[in-house]
Copies of this chain bind each other. A is one copy, B any other.
Amino acid sequence: MHPLDSTRALMDGLGSEANLCVKCGSRSVGLCAPLDVAALDDMSGESERLSLDARDTIFHQGDTARHVYTLTEGMARLTRVLPDGRQSVIGFRFSGDILGFTPAAEHAFGAEMLTRGMVCRLDRKRLEQLFRRYPALERRFLDLCVKELAASQDHILALGRFSAEERVAAFLVSLAEAQERRGRAGPVFDLPATRADIGEFLGLTLETVSRAISAFRKRGWIRLHGHSGIELLDREALVSLGSGDGADAA
């Protein structure tokens, strides 16, 4: 994977285009693709839809991991809290992504909505049964997991080696790509994450994120539309800055 894809893949998360909830989505793509009709009926019998507002919690860090979730609408953030209260945003998730899948007893991180939206949840024990009955489903989870692992490693690279502006540029590009891959084709993209959220994701303070965004704006690379809209005017510049082929090193 090219480092450019870093945050892109990261934000894609466990299950781009995947869909656990048959009621809520297409039967022809995503997780369910390898399954036959009987399997789909098995799954749809147990999944529940939940409607959520912005800032609602999907699950808390430390909660017993009873369910696996599919985000079918909206955007969420995954957060991890340290004993001393420091907090970090582990990643962002979009419609189609899977949340909270883990073999551990408890969720290692919390998940909260950034926008209003919808999730489908499936009982974890039910999923285990489905794994036994439909091995192809388990294979799909393994592929997604390895993919997300690669994305996490790219994010580690970014956090360890990228400057503030490089990180913000990579983030903006990947945000745009994530939304494009989900059909939002317009020049203006949603930016539901606050500067604080972005900062906690990128290992920066909210002020530093703001300064980077201001710098891009002053260079004519982006245009802001209110507090939750952003337009990429010079995508090339952002991609170049955010992909680690910076002119400074090389």
Q: Is A101 in the interface zone, CB < 8 Å from B?
A: yes
- Neighbouring B residues of A243 by C-beta, 8 Å: 83
Q: Are B86 and A249 in contact (CB under 8 A)?
A: yes
**A78 — nearest CB in chain B belongs to which residue?**
B153
Q: Are A142 and B138 in contact (CB under 8 A)?
A: yes
**A157 — nearest CB in chain B belongs to which residue?**
B88
Which A residues fall within an 8 A CB radius of B?
1, 3, 80, 82-86, 88, 90-91, 101-104, 108-109, 131, 135, 138-139, 141-143, 145-150, 152-157, 159-161, 200-203, 243-246, 248-250
- Neighbouring B residues of A147 by C-beta, 8 Å: 103-104
Partner of A83, one of B84, B91, B244: B244
Q: Are A149 and B159 in contact (CB under 8 A)?
A: no
- Neighbouring B residues of A139 by C-beta, 8 Å: 131, 138
**A204 — nearest CB in chain B belongs to which residue?**
B160
CA distance A101 to B245 in the complex (A): 27
- Neighbouring B residues of A246 by C-beta, 8 Å: 84
Known interface pairs A82-B161, A142-B141, A160-B200. Does A108 touch B249 (Cβ–Cβ under 8 Å)? no
Q: Are A90 and B153 in contact (CB under 8 A)?
A: yes
Q: Are A108 and B142 in contact (CB under 8 A)?
A: no
Known interface pairs A139-B131, A145-B145, A149-B149. Does A250 touch B156 (Cβ–Cβ under 8 Å)? no
Q: Are B159 and A90 in contact (CB under 8 A)?
A: no
Q: Which 10 pairs across A and B sit closest by C-beta, in order of nearness?
A: A160-B203, A82-B244, A83-B245, A152-B152, A84-B249, A159-B159, A145-B145, A84-B250, A142-B142, A88-B157
CA distance A104 to B131 in the complex (A): 22
Partner of A80, one of B86, B102, B153, B249: B153
- Neighbouring B residues of A152 by C-beta, 8 Å: 149, 152-153, 156
